[in-house]
Homo-oligomer: A and B are copies of this chain.
Amino acid sequence: MQQPDNNLGQLIQDLESDQVAGIRKTLTSLNPPEIARLLESLTVGKRKIIWQLVDQEDEGEILKELVDDVRQNLIEEMDASELIAVTQDMELDDLADLLIDIPEAITEQIITALDQQDQVRLESVMSFEENTAGGLTNPRIVSVRRGITIEVLIRYLRKLRKLPEDTNYIYIINKHNEYLGAVKLVDLFVEDKGKNIEDIMDESVKPFTAETDSHQVSLDFQDLDIISAPVVDDQNKLLGQITIDDVVDVIQDQANSEIFNMAGLDDEDDIFAPVLVSSKRRAVWLGMNLVTAFIVAGAVGLFKEILGQIVILAVLMPIVASMGGVAGNQTLILVIRGIATKKIQRSNAIKLLIKEGSVALLNGLTWSIVVSVLAVVLFQTPWNIGYIIGAAMLLNILASAIAGVSIPFLLKKVGIDPALAGGVMMTTLTDVLGFITFLGLATLFLLE
Contact = CB atoms under 8 A, between A and B. Distances in A.
B251 A225 contact: no
Contacts of A329: 263
22 contacts: A1-B216, A8-B345, A9-B345, A163-B189, A185-B189, A221-B248, A222-B245, A244-B248, A251-B255, A255-B259, A263-B330, A267-B337, A282-B363, A286-B367, A290-B367, A294-B319, A297-B319, A298-B378, A300-B314, A300-B315, A307-B315, A318-B318
Nearest to A301: B315
A256 B330 contact: no
Give me the 3 closest cross-chain CB pairs, A-B, nearest first.
Answer: A255-B255, A314-B314, A9-B347
Interface in A128-172: 154, 157-158, 160-163, 167-168
B251 A344 contact: no
- How many subunits of this chain does the assembly comprise? 2
A304 B312 contact: yes
A25 interface: no
B186 A41 contact: no
Contacts of A290: 319, 323, 367, 370-371, 374
Interface in A83-140: none
Interface of A is mostly: helix
A43 to B, nearest CB: 6
A294 B319 CA distance: 7
Given A160-B190, A279-B362, A272 B327 contact: no
A265 B322 contact: no
Given A282-B363, A300-B318, A33 B222 contact: yes
Interface in A322-348: 322-323, 326-327, 329-330, 332-334, 337-338, 341-348
Most buried by B among A276, A315, A332, A351: A315
A347 B332 CA distance: 36
A194 interface: no
Contacts of A319: 290, 293-294, 296-297
A21 interface: no
A339 to B, nearest CB: 11
